[in-house]
């Protein structure tokens, strides 16, 4: 463990802006949600009316059940997506300071000094654990100061903190399994995605005790039930699981060689195929796993939630009060259309995240020194970056087509109208593409013009997600909501199609992409 403290200081210096940004930002969003609900619902009757209007299978699938009909319970329910974001953030932080450091060769240089073998893993784990704990403490203190109840606020804060501890351990294991930081991120995202999907399927049926929700770490933590007869015994179970996984990470770290993974890297062929004779072919070879993996995830999510849309419609039709409340929200839109539209609003941002990840792969290739030998040959800069950019635009398109097609098939099969539902739901999925491409173009512009700040593209993705999901709850001004490109999209399926915002978003995406390509052509590589 020699040198752990020095590595902690180094990592904190590198993350001196990013770490406080997401920790404090997420805490303020949760506190802001609580403040908004406190101002909107002054008495218990209004809270019960709101909870009744939100207690349907579609919203339960997104956010989980409402366990307590009070200000704290509604706040915990509505901010459940922050739980996913914080778990992902700590996981990526661990990989950034472990596997990514080894992949870049910096860990080997540090290892040649007086630094213990486990110092790097311990430093990264300590930072992620500390960030999760601070997030939980800020949430607990903030909500307690607002008068939400100390016990419930502590439970909600511990829910966020323990989720961070668990996915710190998951990412630590992922960093030992593979030689690639990208693959380690995929393993962490896969575990988080499966956990979320299990909770979605379990809660979509309206059963608060569904076995699928209980075996999901995310679902299990939500069963802590902050502000509603807290089940404190849930916490030791998840903490014990986190400790066991972290112990496995240390055991695996002790067994492997530096810069190697437990899973051996498969050697490539001796000669390159024809597909690698162009920059686009190289980009496809590097990114095909990403595109296919995201597409499979969207297909599964579309099949699951497409079927849930019909059950949501049936459940609402049996509840006259709930149906009336949702008609006031959605106007002439059916309940299933509201559900599918809300689903695609989130999936469009997820697709944008996929595109950003594909663009930043180009920056990673450049930083690792693998782009320079390619550009030293007869390969122009625009052709090289253009290949990665084309993949970044194709990835979200393929994913949203898959999501729209399979959601339409599942919903059409449930309603007995496959031919009528597939085209309209596919159109609702495709309408998200201009906003996703605009987000991708921001990443391209950063890579080309401000490569050292290219990581800020993730900040835009998170900001657009939070504005879309929490902006209305926080009662933000319309100009603030309009910052997100997804705010300007037509409300499909069921709504009217307006072409003007789509054209503007596409034009801005083209302009930002052109600026990024021009900047990359003129700047130094590295």
**Where among 229, 263, 297 does a domain terminate?**
263
Has residue 269 been placed in a domain?
Answer: no
Write down the pLDDT at residue 329: 47
Q: Is the pTM of this model over 0.95?
A: no
For residues 230 and 337, state if they share a domain. Answer: no
Whole-number Cα distances in Å, 211 to 29, 196, 217, 219, 430: 31, 14, 12, 10, 35
Say whether both 23 and 74 belong to one domain.
yes
Residues 445, 410 within the same domain: yes
Residue at which a domain ends, from 209, 233, 263 = 263
Return the sign of the alpha-carbon dihedral for residues 516, 519, 525, 526. negative
Q: Residues with Cβ < 8 Å from 423, sequence gap 6 or more?
A: 408
Q: Which of 202, 237, 263 is at the close of a domain?
A: 263
54 & 180 share domain: yes
**Which helix (DSSP H) or strand (DSSP E) does residue 350 occupy?**
helix 335-367
Q: φ, ψ for residue 280 (rounded to 5)?
A: -65, -40
Q: Is the residue at 270 inside a domain?
A: no
The verdict on 246 and 281 lying in the same domain is no
Does pLDDT of 330 surpass 50? no
Task: Identify the band that residue 53 occupies on the pLDDT scale cut at 50, 70 and 90.
Answer: low
Residue 257 shares a structural domain with residue 294 = no
Domain co-membership, 65 together with 115: yes
Mean pLDDT across the chain? 85
Cβ-based neighbour number of residue 469 at 10 Å: 21
pLDDT over 80 at 197, yes or no = yes
Distance CA 349, CA 507 (A): 19
Statement to judge: residues 234 and 317 lie in one domain: no
Considering the domain architecture, whether residues 78 and 112 belong to the same structural domain is answered as yes
pLDDT number for residue 337:
79
Q: How many domains does the chain have?
A: 2
303 within domain boundaries: yes
Let me know if residue 268 belongs to a domain: no
54 is in which domain, residue-wise?
1-263
Please check whether residues 212 and 304 belong to one and the same domain: no
| Residues 50, 106 within the same domain | yes
Q: List the helix and strand counts (H, then E) for the chain.
A: 24, 0
Q: Give 485's DSSP letter.
A: G
106 has pLDDT over 90:
no
Query: Does pLDDT of 282 surpass 80?
Result: yes
- The closest of 341, 517, 497 to 443, measured between CA atoms, is 517
- Res. 393 pLDDT band, cuts 50 70 90: very high
Residues 450 and 511 in one domain: yes
Q: Is 272 among the domain residues? A: no
Distance from C-alpha of 501 to C-alpha of 488, rounded to nearest angstrom: 6
């Amino acid at each position: 463990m020699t040198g752990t403290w020095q590595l902690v200081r180094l990592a904190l210096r590198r993350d001196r802006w990013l770490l406080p940004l997401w920790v404090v930002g997420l805490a303020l969003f949760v506190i802001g949600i609580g403040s908004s609900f406190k101002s909107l619902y002054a008495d218990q009757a209004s809270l019960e009316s709101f909870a009744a209007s939100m207690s349907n299978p579609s919203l339960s699938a997104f956010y989980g059940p409402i366990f307590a009909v009070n200000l704290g319970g509604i706040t915990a329910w509505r901010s459940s997506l922050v739980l996913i974001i914080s778990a992902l953030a700590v996981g990526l932080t661990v990989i950034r300071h472990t596997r990514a450091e080894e992949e870049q060769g910096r860990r080997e240089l540090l290892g040649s000094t007086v630094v213990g073998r486990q110092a790097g893993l311990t430093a990264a784990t300590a930072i992620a654990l500390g960030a999760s704990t601070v997030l939980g403490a800020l949430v607990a203190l903030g909500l307690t100061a607002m008068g939400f109840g100390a016990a419930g606020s502590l439970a909600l804060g511990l829910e966020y903190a323990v989720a961070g501890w668990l996915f710190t351990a998951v990412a630590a294991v992922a960093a030992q399994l593979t030689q690639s930081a990208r693959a380690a991120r995929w393993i962490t995202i896969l575990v988080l995605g499966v956990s979320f999907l299990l909770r979605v399927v379990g809660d979509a049926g309206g059963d608060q005790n569904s076995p699928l929700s209980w075996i999901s770490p995310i679902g299990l933590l939500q069963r802590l039930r902050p502000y509603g007869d807290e089940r404190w015994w849930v916490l030791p179970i998840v903490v014990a699981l986190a400790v066991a996984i972290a112990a496995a990470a240390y055991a695996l770290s002790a067994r492997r060689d530096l810069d190697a993974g437990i899973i051996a890297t498969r050697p490539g062929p001796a000669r390159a195929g024809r597909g690698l004779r162009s920059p686009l072919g190289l980009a496809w070879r590097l990114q095909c796993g990403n595109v296919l993996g995201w597409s499979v995830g969207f297909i599964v999510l579309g099949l699951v939630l497409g079927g849930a849309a019909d059950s949501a419609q049936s459940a609402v039709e049996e509840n006259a009060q709930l149906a009336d409340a949702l008609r006031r929200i959605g106007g002439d839109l059916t309940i299933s259309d509201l559900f599918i539209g809300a689903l695609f609003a989130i999936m469009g941002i997820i697709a944008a995240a996929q595109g950003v990840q594909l663009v930043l792969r180009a920056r990673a290739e450049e930083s690792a020194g693998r782009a320079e030998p390619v550009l030293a040959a007869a390969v122009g800069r625009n052709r090289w970056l253009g290949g990665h950019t084309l993949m970044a635009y194709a990835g979200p398109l393929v994913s949203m087509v898959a999501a729209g097609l399979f959601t339409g098939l599942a919903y059409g099969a449930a309603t007995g109208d496959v031919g009528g539902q597939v085209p309209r739901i596919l159109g609702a999925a495709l309408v998200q593409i201009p906003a996703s491409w605009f987000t991708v173009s921001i990443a391209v512009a950063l890579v080309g013009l401000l490569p050292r700040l290219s990581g800020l593209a993730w900040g835009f993705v998170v900001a657009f997600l939070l504005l879309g999901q929490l902006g209305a709850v926080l009662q933000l001004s319309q100009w603030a909501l309009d910052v997100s490109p997804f705010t300007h999209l037509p409300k499909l399926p069921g709504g009217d199609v307006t072409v003007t915002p789509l054209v503007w978003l596409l034009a801005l995406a083209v302009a930002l992409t052109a600026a990024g390509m021009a900047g990359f052509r003129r700047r130094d590589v590295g």
